[in-house]
């Protein structure tokens, strides 16, 4: 099998669980704290590596790290999951970190990301791995690292005939040139609204937003809809794939990353696109039953078992 190559950032997640966020100038007591691995690209790489384990898959992750304790967390996380790091070490910066507030009653979250060294991921970093990207079955990126680097990765992948997936998170203004390089774009509701100006509240409005993105050159759009599953839309069909529940929801922070990692694995294995969306939904469905982001990503056997039950 050809590898999956993911470009993105690693940050150390500092997660605080409380009844509510403090007001400006206020201090409140939290219910728990956890330090762990995060960053959308890193989470997606871990999800993909876990989901392809035992199936012969190979997942490479392109990023930048500082030389510090948080970088050690990154490398240990990738080693445990089977991710192959493609790291530029940056002694002039620091490994990034994220503040994550978790609402105790719902598991919903609010996040601040300080990417550190990953904010300095450059076009040159990407071009140094051009051969790796061109050899991939699937290239995945997001928008936490600088957009020029993501654009260059998509250009290299498209020129080599590699399947391209853009997870447009966090939401940012994107050129039609960049969107036209994407076989698949995978926004959530708020990101789809930011890209199109169409408020996404249900399957119908998700379809409208997806259709608007198609007019800008995207090959296909998958709007992830949380507990409503995902909406797939291309020039020929529109399919709503329901969520696949694996149990009570504990935390939703890594759900989108779980979906994207699982989706990339299924695509790289040659599964049909709707089957790949279902695989992504199953991966996400398991991840939300556990605390954390990368540590919540399920193994392949768990995903296959959940799909078999559904």
Each of the 310 residues of the chain gets a pLDDT tens digit; together they read 899 999 999 999 898 999 999 999 999 999 999 999 999 999 999 999 999 976 667 999 999 999 999 999 999 999 999 999 999 999 999 999 989 899 999 888 888 889 899 999 999 999 999 999 999 999 999 999 999 999 999 999 999 999 999 999 999 999 999 999 999 999 999 999 999 999 999 999 999 999 999 999 999 999 999 999 999 999 999 999 999 999 999 988 899 999 999 999 999 999 999 999 999 999 999 999 998 889 999 999 999 999 999 8
Query: Position of tokens 């990407």?
Result: 126
Other beta carbons within 10 Å of 290? 17
Taking the mean position of all CA atoms in its chain, how far away is CA 46? 10
Confirm whether 257 is a catalytic residue: yes
Domain boundaries defined on the chain = 4-309
Q: Which CATH number fits domain 4-309: 3.40.1190.20, 3.40.50.920, 3.90.1300.10, 3.10.180.10?
A: 3.40.1190.20
pTM for the whole thing?
0.92
Q: Which of 90, 125, 183, 257 is catalytic?
A: 257
**Which two structure tokens, joined as six digits, stand for 38?**
């995060």
Which residues are bridge partners to 65 per DSSP?
Answer: 89
DSSP state of 251: -
């Amino acid at each position: 099998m050809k590898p999956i190559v993911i470009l993105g950032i690693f940050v150390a997640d500092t997660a605080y669980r409380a009844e509510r966020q403090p007001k400006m100038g206020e201090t409140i007591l939290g219910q728990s704290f956890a330090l762990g691995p995060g960053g959308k690209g890193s989470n997606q790489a871990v999800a993909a590596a876990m989901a392809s384990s035992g199936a012969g898959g190979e997942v490479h992750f392109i990023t930048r790290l500082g030389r510090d304790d948080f970088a050690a967390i990154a490398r240990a996380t990738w080693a445990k999951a089977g991710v192959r790091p493609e790291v530029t070490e940056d002694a002039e910066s620091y490994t990034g970190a994220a503040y994550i507030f978790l609402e105790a009653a719902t598991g919903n979250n609010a996040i601040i990301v300080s990417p550190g060294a990953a904010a300095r991921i450059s076009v040159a970093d990407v071009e140094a791995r051009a051969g790796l990207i061109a050899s991939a079955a699937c290239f995945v990126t997001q928008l936490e690292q600088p957009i020029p680097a993501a654009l260059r990765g998509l250009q290299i992948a498209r020129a080599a005939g590699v399947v391209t997936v853009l997870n447009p998170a966090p939401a940012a203004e994107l050129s039609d040139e960049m969107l036209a390089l994407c076989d698949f774009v995978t926004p959530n509701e708020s990101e789809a609204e930011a890209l199109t100006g169409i408020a996404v509240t249900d399957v119908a409005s998700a379809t409208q937003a997806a259709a608007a993105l198609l007019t800008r050159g995207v090959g296909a759009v998958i709007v992830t809809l949380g507990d409503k599953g995902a909406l797939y839309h291309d020039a020929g069909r529109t399919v709503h794939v329901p969520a696949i529940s694996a149990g009570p929801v504990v935390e939703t922070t890594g759900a989108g990353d779980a979906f994207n990692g699982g989706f990339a694995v299924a695509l790289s294995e040659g599964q049909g696109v709707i089957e790949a969306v279902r695989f992504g939904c199953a991966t996400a469905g398991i991840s939300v039953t556990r605390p954390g982001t990368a540590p919540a990503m399920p193994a392949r056997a768990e995903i296959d078992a959940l799909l078999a039950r559904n």
